[in-house]
Amino acid sequence: MRRLAIPTIAALLLTLAPQPANAGGHDDARRLREAVTVNGVLEHLRALQKIADRNDGTRASGTPGFTASAGYVKDKLRRAGYQVTEQVFTFPFYKELAPAVLERVSPAGPAYETVTFDFSGTGDVTGQVVPALNNVLPPTEAPSSTAGCAAADFAPASAAAPQVALVQRGGCDFVVKAKNAKAAGYDAVIIFNEGQEGRQVLFQGTLGEPFDLPVVGLSFADGSALATAAAAGTVSVHVKTSTFIDPTAKTSNIVADARGGDPNRVLVVGAHLDSVIDGPGINDNGSGSATILEIAEQIAKLKLSTKQKLRFTFWGAEELGLLGSEHYVAQLTDAQRATIFANLNFDMVGSPNYVRFVYDGDGSDTGTAGPAGSGELESVFTSYFASKGLASSPTEFNGRSDYGPFIAVGIPAGGLFSGAEGVKTAEEAAVYGGTAGEPYDSCYHEACDDITNLSKPALSELGDAAAHGVLTVARSKAVFTPAAATAPAAAPAEHAGSHAVR
């Protein structure tokens, strides 16, 4: 259960104190918060909803809805006086055309609850189930299974009839397991959850790149039962997937630089602009995009100067694995990367059943710290909330949003999050209100994530905190120690965006 973080006012910005570029620094923060209104954010969100309505209900990268969303953002930023660049890149567009089918045909049995892994190929296979040679049943304490991570983990498939590999999660990326199964001659792949606490239910995974065999998932209970049955005798299943992949689709990032500020100390303020293919994405992540767009407009309107160069970024293709932010970071030269002072990330700030989550930069609550300086960024937000008598709670850097590529190269990161498909605890409901036992956002990645799927109090409270944080960090004189000198290399992330990669 997460511990609530309510720092004392005395802890406010001890190591990342705001250093105003003019004598009215504290007044400027108040003026900016007052200028960044819920109505202003909602104006942008209504525009994004209209764009989705005109484009088959989606704003996903690779669709006209995203192109129109990017055009809207570019126009607003240029009118506000920013130097705007559209960074076009190629990415693999993926869409599931029909739900996956996984059913036992011999001995006859019911259909399983399953999912298609992102970037799975299309296929219709009926064949014998062959478990990987080193599935661990029952699982031991984590880490447990490395099944499928080596080519030798799969017995060679029969050439006489189709066969389906059954492999346990754990130890390496799913795409490694799938490629090893394919190399051994299998016609389809089933990946089931590992089995320890927190790794038992059916989950959505991604291969991260186009693949040409059907790959589907199972819960630990179903997968382990199927493995046990297959070890005791011949078991056959029917696996069917239907997907579309365009490996050369194009999308873009929108990058907007404010005039002024030190070009050798750049603060990148980011939010992903794309939705999932199934909906308009108004909370995920229209809310983050609209909030930082409103902050950018009001900073320009108020003519607020900053010590750091302010760069507002709107990422494409986040929903397929942080592809836009990964592209942005990957194309930076060493010299360009060295100029980036910090990254602030805002991914979902209007969830209906919200919590005021702050990324746990120092790892004190979740055990996963960001690069040096991330703890100071965390303190900017927790101290702000405390100064307003508002609780906040830590959330882990787990690779699920666009801070990931920045952290991977040692750039400190921070930001806010109001909750996604996770379930609100009774403790959280007692502090924040809302409904315990229900998701923070019950329309997460669904068609109902529309303009009605928002909390105005969340937009207000997290919007004010975001405005405060952006201006505070942009005016700071702090100098962060390079992460490479202070921390070991981070463990491989288990997520790239919303879906697990390993």
pLDDT per position as a tens digit, 382-400: 999 999 999 999 999 998 8
CATH, residue 471: 3.40.630.10
Global pTM value: 0.90
Structural domain includes residue 417: yes
Is pLDDT of 20 > 70?
no
Taken in order 196, 416, 474, 295, is the CA torsion positive or negative? positive
Distances (CA, A) of 329 to 245, 266, 325: 25, 13, 6
Structural domain contains residue 361: yes
54 and 123 assigned to the same domain:
no
Q: What is the mean pLDDT of the chain?
A: 92
Note whether 298 and 431 are same-domain residues.
yes
The verdict on 269 and 228 lying in the same domain is no
Q: Does residue 488 surpass a pLDDT of 80?
A: no
Which of 180, 210, 243 is at the close of a domain? Answer: 243
Q: Of 243, 269, 295, which one is at a domain's C-terminal end?
A: 243
Q: Are residues 494 and 353 in the same domain?
A: yes
pLDDT at 95 over 70: yes
- Give domain status of residue 333, yes or no: yes
Same domain, 218 and 308: no
What integer pLDDT is reported at residue 141 of this predicted model?
Answer: 84
For residues 59 and 52, the answer to whether their CB atoms sit within 8 Å is yes
- Residue by residue, DSSP assigns 100-165 as EEEEEEETEEEEPP-EEPBTPPPEEEEEEEEE-TT--SS--SSS---TTSSGGGSPPPPSSS-EEE
State the CATH number of the domain containing residue 117: 3.50.30.30
pLDDT at 25: 54
Nearest to 463 by CA among 171, 161, 42, 38: 38
Domain limits at 401?
9-82+258-500
Residues 353 and 230 in one domain: no
pLDDT bin (cut points 50, 70, 90) of residue 501 is confident
Q: Quick check: 349 and 416 in contact, CB under 8 A?
A: yes
Residue 36 falls within a domain, yes or no?
Answer: yes
Instruction: Say how far apart CA 283 and CA 419 lie, in whole Å.
Output: 10
Render the burial of 413-440: b for 16+ CB within 10 Å, e for the rest.
bbbbbbbbebebeeebbebbebeeeebb
Per the CB < 8 A criterion, the answer to whether 153 and 180 are in contact is: yes
Q: Are residues 328 and 462 in the same domain?
A: yes
For the annotated catalytic residues, the residue numbers are 318
Q: Rounded CA gap, 80 and 295, in Å?
A: 11
Q: Are residues 197 and 296 in the same domain?
A: no
- What pLDDT, on the 0 to 100 scale, is given for residue 481? 52
What integer pLDDT is reported at residue 23 of this predicted model?
33
Instruction: State whether 442 and 394 are in the same domain.
Output: yes
- ∠202-326-79 over CA atoms, to 5°? 115
Q: Is 309 part of any domain?
A: yes
Instruction: Please give the distance of CA 63 from its chain centroid, rounded to a whole number.
Output: 20
Helices (H) and strands (E) in the chain, counts: 12, 16
Residue-wise pLDDT tens digits, 244-303:
999 999 999 999 999 999 999 999 999 999 999 999 999 999 999 999 999 999 999 999
What confidence category does residue 5 fall into, taking pLDDT thresholds of 50, 70 and 90?
very low
User: What are 217-233's pLDDT values in tens digits?
Assistant: 999 999 999 999 999 99
- Residue 3 domain-assigned? no
Is residue 367 predicted with pLDDT exceeding 90?
yes
According to DSSP, residue 363 is labeled -
Cross-strand pairs, 240: 101, 124
Which whole-number Å values give the CA distances from 477 to 45, 51, 265, 340, 417, in the listed order? 34, 40, 10, 14, 26
Residue 197 lies in a domain: yes
User: 217 with 192: CB under 8 angstroms?
Assistant: yes
Task: Report DSSP state, residue 10.
Answer: G
Residue 206 lies in a domain: yes
- Residues, the chain: 502
Same domain flag for 366 and 494: yes
> Could you tell me the pLDDT band of residue 313, with boundaries at 50, 70 and 90?
very high
Into how many domains does the chain fold? 2
| Spatial contact of 360 and 393, defined as CB atoms under 8 Å apart | no
Q: Which of 243, 266, 295 finishes a domain?
A: 243
Can you give the pLDDT at residue 492? 65
Question: Are 293 and 335 in a shared domain?
Answer: yes
Q: pLDDT tier at 491 (50, 70, 90 boundaries)? A: low
Q: Are residues 78 and 98 in the same domain?
A: no
